Amino acid sequence: MNRLDRLESQSIYILREAVATIDNIAMLWSLGKDSNTMIRLAQKAFFGRMPFPLLHVDTGKKFPEMYAFRDEYAKKWNINLLLQECPDISETDEDLPPAARSAARKSLGLKAAIAAHGFRGLIAGIRRDEEATRAKERVFSPRGSFGEWQPREQPPEFWNQYATDPPPGAHIRIHPLLHWTERDIWAYIQREDIPVVDLYFARDGKRYRSLGDTDITRPIESTAATIEEILDELAQTRQAERAGRLMDHESEDAFERLRVDGYM
């Protein structure tokens, strides 16, 4: 088995384990490269029939290319798509810096979706190598009844045995891509020919390395216009993947606070 085979196998195991042990789950689709990869893995794991809906928590501020992508592939992939709108920014925590407040709308929208559908498990495409607090995550990560995460009180996780039992009212976040790196994702997208939004590829010396809302996401300087070139670029770069995501960097702990409160 090669590296990508191993990663794929582990992710498929995690997805199947989630379906076997938790009732009423959904997969979060942010329309980005990681969640598209996750969809491909789920198509493989479940032989083309996904046994759960996809949930897009929509801030209404995504790039137009992303909405076009969503509508095209929801149909092509025959996806049971749930849409959840997010509340106005006035409902978010006033103590957060501006970009983090904007991002916090997504946490509120997510909570509303959980309440409306009674989800006990949510599959999310986060990775350890993205960001410091995500690095501390578990594959099966229990959330409190308000969606909050307690990084210091995480259960042990070993030998493919996971914390599959959320307490009443709470849910489990399932992270099938936790052990992948950004390069692994691109290498897999290349191997499997997974469609992604064009914004990832350089135009006029810039490209988006990570996609979020239009108002809080910035492109990086880049000439990488193909997957091959992106893989080369990643081998060289010293910049963090989420450098263009403003809410991560406003203050030292802004992103950690977002995550503790239920952000992905």
Binding-site ranges for other proteins (CB under 8 A): 1-6, 9, 12-13, 16-17, 19-20, 43-49, 128-129, 131-132, 135-136, 138, 154-159, 161, 163, 165, 181-183, 234-235, 237-240
Q: Output 58 or 184, the one with its CB closest to other proteins.
A: 184
Q: Output 88 or 153, the one with its CB closest to other proteins.
A: 153
CA dist., res. 4 & res. 187, Å (int): 8
Q: Output 83 or 135, the one with its CB closest to other proteins.
A: 135
CA dist., res. 212 & res. 243, Å (int): 12
Cβ-contact 208, 243 below 8 angstroms: no
Q: Output 64 or 238, the one with its CB closest to other proteins.
A: 238
Tell me which H or E stretch contains 83: strand 81-85
> What is the residue whose two structure tokens read 């509303």?
112
58 beta partners: 85
CA dist., res. 13 & res. 145, Å (int): 27
Smallest separation (angstroms) from other proteins to the CB of 12: 4
Smallest separation (angstroms) from other proteins to the CB of 219: 18
Amino acid 155 reads P
Amino acid 87 reads P
Smallest separation (angstroms) from other proteins to the CB of 131: 7
Smallest separation (angstroms) from other proteins to the CB of 156: 4
Q: Output 49 or 95, the one with its CB closest to other proteins.
A: 49
Smallest separation (angstroms) from other proteins to the CB of 87: 32
Cβ-contact 39, 195 below 8 angstroms: no
174 beta partners: 123, 140
Smallest separation (angstroms) from other proteins to the CB of 123: 16
Q: Output 49 or 204, the one with its CB closest to other proteins.
A: 49
Would residue 124 be called left, alpha or beta, if left means φ above 0 and alpha means ψ between -120 and 50 degrees?
Answer: beta
Report residue 210 as tokens: 């990570």
Greatest Cα pair distance, the chain, in angstroms, is 51
